[in-house]
Amino acid sequence: MTIDSTMSERPLTITSLFRHGTSVHGQSSVATLGDGPVRRSDFTQVAEGAKRLAAALQRLGIRRGDVVGTLAWNNQEHLEAYLAVPSMGAVLHTLNLRLSPDQLTFVINHGGDRVILVDASVAPLLAAVLPRCPAVEHVVVIGEGEAGALGEAARYNELVSAEEPRFAWPELDERAAASMCYTSGTTGDPKGVVYSHRSVFLHSLAAWGQLELRNDDRLLAIVPMFHVNAWGLPYTGWMVGIDFVMPDRFLQPASLVRTIEEEGVTYSVGVPTVWNAILRHTDAHPSDLSSLRRVVVGGAAVPRTLMEAFRERHGLEIVQAWGMTETSPLGAVALPPKGVGSEEEWEYRSMTGRIVPGVELRIADDKGEVLPWDGKSAGEIEVRGPWVTAAYHRDPAPDRFHDGWLRTGDAGTVDHRGFVRITDRVKDVIKSGGEWISSVELENQLMAHPGVAEAAVIGVPDQRWDERPLACVVLKEAAPVTPEELSAFLAERVPRLWLPERWSFIDKIPKTSVDKFDKKALRARYAEGSLVVNELARAER
């Protein structure tokens, strides 16, 4: 005899998260930085704003399944759109405001955006591409600033204040599309990932548990709301009833540090380059980061030295996390397992992370054979799960999937406890004389040198070894460091075969639209001969 579950199958929707936060955490706050004083609201007011926005969008003709784009910083209006658009059955498309005009045009058209909400400060960017986006029917400008060529467009405040704070949220299928993001991929056109209500709901619960967010946290999400839904934190935070501190466009280290101090921020998240810049700022200007209890850093490998420096200088715990647009993004979090000593604890913290429950992960070699979790066998990481994409929007891309698993493009190992160590992007691995050199490991070791501000390593063609590493290094101001010295420093930390002969000292590492090292740009600069390369004698092997 089979037994049927007696559980109700109420749909897992953003609307239900939205309702919960509104009814339970009405007094939690949302502060947004601006040119003038900090704007302050509570969840009750934000929920009213979201209802008015839904009514206004409906009046503009937005119906179920229509796509509403946002080109906006992290601010209250953006949070209102996060809540309103999916809850009314439409699809929120967060546009990356650092894309090139061509890429922005591509994602607006490919996503099928009908309305775009745009911050006044980036209105010129949208104005420049709009003539090439025929499906966009309405543009709504957020904020009071000048909107240049979009000066005639509707204003967010006027539009929403003309509506009542009432909206009859529809019953939605949990599998319905809720929001979409495009990958920030540096090769080819960006690829669209469409999240469902169900995937966002489940991801929010997982993120709550894995990131250990608490009701009394005050969150400064430095990661933009256009980068994988700010790692899901707007939804998780709303559900948990945290206080949001929204940096808007004020993302310079000095402003971020001042915000942490003045707003008593307890929790923050961002990519390593941002936290590296904050660290350097605090080294030069005495700062008080003592309100912070947790910082989660991910999006790129987090150098162990960065974590150690924050702990030593600020008593601050950095936790590394791994994920991607395709995984909503949470896939692994580096919380050390129980029962390990302090040195071992650091080993675990500096790994990429432990697989989060709900995500299945395996590694496959280049023939597609699945490899053991022994901490040594290296291959491409593949994942699947209820918040992992199983396709791309209007782009079959069969080469990105393997028997229903997403091929992440990340290479690494997994140990018997489910701790992942990413050694490289598959396409960044340096293949030298039949051996693999991890560019990420070389970068992390270089950035451990006290004179180095940032370092990125790329593979460059080599007659004898096929490929060899080229180390591109940004020195801290006035640090008189030579390639020989860095090579000697590395020699104590990595295999001899890995030691780069080629060195280039540059002013800054080019960054992608989400602030990661842009190795494609570095490769292009090398190929066109615009990097000054210093070549050391080849080390004996």
What is the spatial distance between Cα 331 and Cα 322, in angstroms, rounded to a whole number? 6
Q: Which of 13, 183, 259, 413 is catalytic?
A: 183
- How many H helices and E strands in the chain? 16, 28
Nearer to ligand AMP, 222 or 514 (CB): 514
Q: Minimum Å distance from CB 34 to ligand AMP? A: 28
Is 436 assigned a catalytic role? yes
E-strand stretches of 365-465: 370-371, 379-384, 401-402, 405-414, 419-425, 430-432, 435-437, 452-462
Phi, psi of 4 (to 5 degrees): -85, 145
Q: What minimum distance in Å lies between the beta carbon of 326 and ligand AMP?
A: 7
Which residue lies nearer to ligand AMP by CB, 257 or 381? 381
Quote the tokens at residue 47. Answer: 């929920």
Q: What would the two tokens of residue 384 be?
A: 């699947």
Phi, psi (deg, nearest 5) at residue 347: -55, -45
In the complex with ligand AMP, which residue's Cβ is closer, 198 or 421? 421
Return phi, psi of residue 522, to 5°.
-65, -45
Smallest gap, in angstroms, from Cβ of residue 420 to ligand AMP?
Answer: 9
C-alpha–C-alpha distance, residues 170 and 161, integer Å: 22
Query: What is the bridge-based pairing of β-strands 154-155 and 192-196?
Result: unpaired
Residue 180 or residue 302: which is nearer to ligand AMP going by CB? 302
Instruction: Give the binding site for ligand AMP (CB under 6 A).
Output: 183-184, 228, 298-302, 320, 322-325, 329, 352, 408-410, 422, 425, 514
Give the DSSP H/E element, type plus range, for residue 484: helix 483-491
**Known catalytic residue: 183?**
yes
Token pair in block for residue 292: 């912070």
Round the CA-based radius of gyration of the chain to a whole number and report it: 24
Q: Of 436, 476, 511, 520, which one is the catalytic site residue?
A: 436
- AA letter at 17: L
Terminal Cα-to-Cα distance of the chain (whole angstroms): 69
Q: Which helix (H) or strand (E) holds 218?
A: strand 218-221
- State the catalytic residue, choosing from 137, 344, 360, 431: 431
Phi, psi of 123 (to 5 degrees): -55, -40
Catalytic residues: 183, 326, 431, 436
